[in-house]
Each structure stands twice: as structure tokens, then as C-alpha cells.
Structure 1
Amino acid sequence: MEFRREIEVNSDKGRIWELINDYKRIPEFWHGTRSIEKDGDTYLVQFAFPGKGKMKLEKDDANFRLTEKYFKGPFTGEKITDLEGDNPVKIVSIWNIRLSPMLRAFSNKLQGHFEQGTEDALKRIKDYFES
């Protein structure tokens, strides 16, 4: 499953970067994620739907890129969040994941669900900075 969504936000790039890098705040904006706990150099993720996963976070401060690498759970692969430009800042979310065998039968429905969830999360981030 691959897709890309983006939104422009009128705010300081550094402030947006600070928020995006705070793993504790991910569930506040990404409602498909119920909770995240740090476990050494990995993160344990409880999803809103029944399922748990494990991921690593890779931060590239110089290029304003955060990569979530999922390696255990209902899907594997990565979600990349990029910040592009200044005033406005474009937040870009790029998904490249593979569903577990049990979920592949529902891939069309789930793709729509992931895409809508991403659009909603980006809008919540925009609203947070612009309201």
C-alpha cells in the first residue's frame, strides 16, 4: 500500500518539527494510534483497531524528515513525514507499507481508511498551529 498526502501549514517550521518529533503526541493527532511507549531503541505501538506493533524512529533534523519503520504488527514498512518549504510549510506524509496476510483481503477498504486517517491527522496538525 503506497500513497502520499500533504497539507500546507502557516507556522514556524521549527515548531512543527518539534511537534512531529514528539512521539508522545502522535496519538493526539494520529487517531489510528492509541498509544506509544519507548522500549530501548524501539517503540511499542497500540493501534486504535485491535493490534500492536513495533517500530523504530529515524530523525533527520537537517532535512526535516521523520521515518517510522514498522517491523512487527498488522503491517510492516514505513511512514515518512517530510517538512518542505517555509511560510507556508508543507507537511508531506508518505506511506509504503505491507499488510499482514490476515489483513490483505481487506486491502482496498483499509487503504481508504489509512488515506482518510492521514488526511484527518494532517488537518488536526494544521488546525493546532493555525487556530
Structure 2
Amino acid sequence: MSYKLSDETLDAIAAAGFDVYQNPDKRWQTYALFTDGTRIGYIQNDCGRLHLSTVHIPCRECGTGFSLRDDPFALTREGLERAFVTAPNWASGFDRAAVRKWPNLETYMRGQISKYEKVREGLAK
């Protein structure tokens, strides 16, 4: 069974107005990044269930982002924008103080080992 993100999911993200990026290697297409050009979110098919994560500059205190795994969302602009928060409401003040968001997608991409390519253009910008 493949847990690759479906074309329907990628299309819904683009229809919400976000550009979508994935690794060109099909083995890594269980997840994608999406952006409005500045803010960056992450979506993953985790054993058949979609979940969102925030994306921030790596830090010792709280890694590279917060999983929003237990936070239900819709594949709408409002639902997906939840991945743009600095930290979820359950994060401690210590964690919140440590988070530094990437200034834009270009800066994020420069620091990555993995390569990404745009697979969908946001439609409703």
C-alpha cells in the first residue's frame, strides 16, 4: 500500500491558493510543503491519515516544527493556514520563545539537503 499524497489532496491545496512542493523521488512523496510565498506549512499522509505540521528554523528546544497530528483540519485555505502558526496552543512559553520562522520559501530551500520541485501552482492567490 502506498501512502503517497493523492492528486486530489495536492489539487485541493493548490485550489486553496498555495504552491505545493514535493521531492521528485516518489519514495518521499508521502509529504509536501505548501506556501503562500512567505509562510511554509507541511502536510503528510501518515498511514492513510493526513496531518499538518508547522515549519521553522531548526532549534535544539523544539526541532524543525510542531506536529498538529491531533488537530483536525479541512483542506481549505483556513484549514491549511493552521500550519503557519508559530506554535500550537499546547506549546510551552519556553518552546514559543525558541521558535524562529523561516523568512520565506527561498531561504528555507537553500538550507535543505532534500531537493523539492513545485508540483502545483496555487490557484486562488
TM-score scaled by structure 2?
Answer: 0.33
Larger strand proportion, structure 1 or 2? 1
TM value normalised by structure 1: 0.32
